C-alpha cells in the first residue's frame, strides 16, 4: 500500500486547508534555498499537506467516537493496558516524539473501556501539535470522564526528535511523564501498585 495515498476523513475536508499547507511548504523550501520545482521536490508540498492532515487529524476528531464502555459486574481489579505505541508532534518544533503509553485503572462498579478503545484514545489525542505532559494528562482525564474509575494512572515514555536529532543530541534518551487521578493520586499504596505493574511490563 502506498502510504502517501492518505485521504483526509471526509469530515475533515473543511477543517484542514490542504492548499494552504502546500503553499507554506513551498515557501519553506524557497526560504532554505531549495528549488521546489526540481523533480524530487515537485510533489513534496502536496505530500506534506496530506501527511499533516493525517498526523493532525486528532484536532478535529470527536474523542467520544473512540469511547466504548462495558459493564462487567464484579470487576474491580486493577487493569493494565501497556505498551501502546504512539506518535505525536512536539508543538515547539513540529518534530515527532514517539514512544509507549501505559494505562492502569481500577474500574468503579465494573465500568470498563474496550481494550482497543484505550489505544484509540491515545492515538486520537496524540494526533495534534502536543506536549508530552499535556498528552499524558489528557489521556488520564479522558478515561476519568468516560468511566469514572476509582483510580487511573498514565505513564508515557517517549523519544523527542527535537532533542535527539538536533539541539542537545542525546540519542536514545527517553522522557517519562505520568498523570495520576483518584486513588493513584491520593493513596501511596495504590500508586506504588500501579507503577510496579507498569514497571514489570515495561520493555525498552
Per CB under 5 A, residues contacting Zn ion are 90, 92-93, 162
Rounded to a whole number of angstroms, the minimum distance from the CB of residue 160 to Zn ion is 6
Nearest Cα to Cα of residue 50 among 21, 23, 88, 83: 21
Q: Are 140 and 178 in contact (CB under 8 A)?
A: no
Rounded to a whole number of angstroms, the minimum distance from the CB of residue 138 to Zn ion is 18
In sequence order, what E strands does the chain have? Answer: 69-71, 79-90, 96-106, 111-113, 129-130, 151-160, 175-182
Tell me the residue number closest to Zn ion, measured at CB. Answer: 162
Quick check: is 184 catalytic? no
Q: Which of 11, 43, 71, 91 is catalytic?
A: 91
Rounded to a whole number of angstroms, the minimum distance from the CB of residue 174 to Zn ion is 14
Beta bridge partners of residue 98, listed in sequence order:
87, 159
Q: Which of 130, 153, 160, 184 is catalytic?
A: 160
Quick check: is 132 catalytic? yes
Quick check: is 72 catalytic? no
Residue labelled with grid coordinates 470527536: 62
48 or 158: CB nearest Zn ion: 158
Q: How far apart are CA 103 and CA 202, in angstroms?
A: 12
Q: Which of 60, 93, 159, 193 is catalytic?
A: 93
- What's the gap between Cα 119 and its chain centre? 9
Q: How far apart are CA 142 and CA 144, in angstroms?
A: 5
Quick check: is 162 catalytic? yes
97 or 105: CB nearest Zn ion: 97
Q: Which of 22, 90, 153, 184 is catalytic?
A: 90
Strand 111-113 and strand 175-182: the pairing is unpaired
61 or 160: CB nearest Zn ion: 160
Beta bridge partners of residue 179, listed in sequence order:
154
Rounded to a whole number of angstroms, the minimum distance from the CB of residue 165 to Zn ion is 11
38 or 92: CB nearest Zn ion: 92
Quick check: is 92 catalytic? yes
78 or 163: CB nearest Zn ion: 163
Q: Which of 11, 27, 43, 92 is catalytic?
A: 92
Rounded to a whole number of angstroms, the minimum distance from the CB of residue 23 to Zn ion is 24
Quick check: is 91 catalytic? yes
Angle value at C-alpha 155, between 120 and 173, nearest 5 degrees = 110
Which residues form the catalytic set? 90-93, 132, 160, 162
Amino acid at each position: 500500500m502506498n502510504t502517501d495515498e492518505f485521504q483526509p476523513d471526509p469530515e475533515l475536508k473543511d477543517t484542514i486547508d490542504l492548499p494552504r499547507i502546500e503553499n507554506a511548504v513551498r515557501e519553506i523550501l524557497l526560504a532554505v534555498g531549495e528549488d521546489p520545482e526540481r523533480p524530487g521536490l515537485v510533489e513534496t508540498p502536496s505530500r506534506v499537506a496530506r501527511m499533516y492532515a493525517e498526523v493532525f487529524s486528532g484536532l478535529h476528531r470527536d474523542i467520544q467516537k473512540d469511547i466504548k464502555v462495558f459493564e462487567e459486574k464484579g470487576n474491580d481489579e486493577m487493569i493494565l493496558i501497556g505498551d501502546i505505541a504512539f506518535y505525536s508532534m512536539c508543538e515547539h518544533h513540529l518534530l515527532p516524539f514517539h514512544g509507549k503509553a501505559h494505562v492502569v485503572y481500577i474500574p468503579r462498579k465494573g465500568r470498563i473501556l474496550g481494550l482497543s478503545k484505550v489505544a484509540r484514545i491515545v492515538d486520537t489525542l496524540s494526533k495534534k501539535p502536543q506536549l508530552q505532559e499535556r498528552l499524558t494528562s489528557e489521556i488520564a482525564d479522558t478515561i476519568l470522564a468516560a468511566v469514572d474509575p476509582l483510580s487511573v494512572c498514565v505513564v508515557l515514555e517517549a523519544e523527542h526528535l527535537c532533542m535527539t536529532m538536533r539541539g542537545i543530541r542525546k540519542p536514545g534518551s527517553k522522557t517519562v511523564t505520568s498523570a495520576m487521578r483518584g486513588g493513584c493520586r491520593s493513596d501511596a499504596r495504590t500508586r506504588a501498585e500501579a507503577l510496579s505493574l507498569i514497571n514489570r511490563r515495561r520493555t525498552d
